[in-house]
C-alpha cells in the first residue's frame, strides 16, 4: 500500500538502436543477472503495521499468504527462496532492503495489496526503481494480469524504499489488487484467487529467468 505514483511511459525495448548499440549490448551483458538462483520474497507490512485494512481484511495477511504460495511454487521450480518474514512480525524497511542486498545472484520481490480512498481503484501494478529491474517487473506484471484477469495498471517506476535501497539485485514491488475495492476484496478473500495471483508472480519470475 505505498502511495500512488504517476505512471511513466513504458521504456522502449529498443534501447540498443543507434550508435551506442554495441557498447549498450556489452553493458547489458555485463549487468545481466538472470542467472539468479535465489528469490528473496518480501511480504509487505506485519504485526502492528496492517497495511491496507477494510474490516477484518488486512493487507499484511494477504501479502504473507500470497508470498508463501509463491515460495512453494518457486521451490518446485528448483529455485532457492528467502522470506523476509514467514510470520506476522514487523520488519523495518531497512532490514528488508538489507536482506535484498545480502546475497549475490538473487532477485527481490516485495508483495503488497493496494488501497485508495473511495474504493474506485482496481487492478494490478508492478513497480521498479532502477532500470535493471524493469524487465523483471514487466514479466511479473504480464503473467500476474494474465493469470488473475485483473485490470492491467501497468509497470511503473517509484521511489519506494525497498526497491530504491535494494541496489545489488533487481528489485520490484507488486501490488496485487485493491483491498479498498469491494469486488476485488471479495475475490482476494478466496484462496483460489490468491493462488492465481501467486501462480502469476511465480510464472513471471520463471519466464524472466528463462528469457534471452
Residues that bind Zn ion (CB under 5 A): 1, 44, 51, 112
**CA 81 to the chain's CA centroid:** 14
> Do 207 and 137 form a contact (C-beta atoms < 8 A)?
no
Angle (nearest 5°) at CA 30 between 76 and 74: 10
Nearest CB to Zn ion, comparing residues 25 and 47: 47
User: What would the grid cell of residue 97 be?
Assistant: 532492503
- DSSP-based helix, strand, coil % in the chain, nearest 5: 40, 20, 35
Nearest CB to Zn ion, comparing residues 3 and 118: 3
Q: How far is the CB of 26 from Zn ion (least distance, A)?
A: 38
Nearest CB to Zn ion, comparing residues 64 and 106: 64
Nearest CB to Zn ion, comparing residues 180 and 203: 180
Q: How far is the CB of 73 from Zn ion (least distance, A)?
A: 21
Q: How far is the CB of 78 from Zn ion (least distance, A)?
A: 29
Nearest CB to Zn ion, comparing residues 69 and 112: 112
Q: Is 67 helix (H, G, I), strand (E, B) or coil?
A: helix
Q: How far is the CB of 12 from Zn ion (least distance, A)?
A: 30
Residues 6+ apart with CB under 8 A from 159: 5, 129
Q: How far is the CB of 165 from Zn ion (least distance, A)?
A: 16
Residues 6+ apart with CB under 8 A from 29: none
Amino acid at each position: 500500500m505505498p502511495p500512488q505514483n504517476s505512471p511513466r511511459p513504458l521504456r522502449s525495448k529498443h534501447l540498443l538502436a543507434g550508435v551506442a548499440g554495441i557498447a549498450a549490448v556489452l553493458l547489458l551483458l555485463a549487468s545481466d543477472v538472470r542467472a539468479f538462483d535465489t528469490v528473496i520474497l518480501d511480504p509487505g507490512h506485519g504485526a502492528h503495521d496492517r497495511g491496507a485494512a477494510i474490516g477484518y481484511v488486512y493487507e499484511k495477511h494477504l501479502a504473507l499468504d500470497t508470498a508463501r504460495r509463491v515460495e512453494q511454487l518457486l521451490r518446485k521450480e528448483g529455485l532457492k527462496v528467502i522470506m523476509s518474514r514467514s510470520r506476522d512480525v514487523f520488519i523495518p524497511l531497512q532490514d528488508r532492503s538489507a536482506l535484498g542486498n545480502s546475497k549475490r545472484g538473487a532477485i527481490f520481490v516485495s508483495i503488497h495489496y493496494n488501497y485508495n480512498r473511495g474504493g474506485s481503484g482496481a487492478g494490478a501494478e508492478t513497480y521498479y526503481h532502477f532500470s535493471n529491474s524493469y524487465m523483471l517487473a514487466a514479466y511479473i506484471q504480464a503473467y500476474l494480469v494474465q493469470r488473475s484477469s485483473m485490470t492491467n495498471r501497468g509497470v511503473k517506476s517509484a521511489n519506494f524504499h525497498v526497491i530504491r535501497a535494494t541496489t545489488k539485485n533487481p528489485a520490484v514491488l507488486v501490488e496485487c489488487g485493491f483491498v479498498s475495492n469491494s469486488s476485488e476484496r471479495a475475490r482476494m478473500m478466496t484462496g483460489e484467487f490468491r493462488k492465481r495471483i501467486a501462480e502469476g508472480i511465480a510464472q513471471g519470475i520463471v519466464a524472466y529467468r528463462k528469457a534471452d
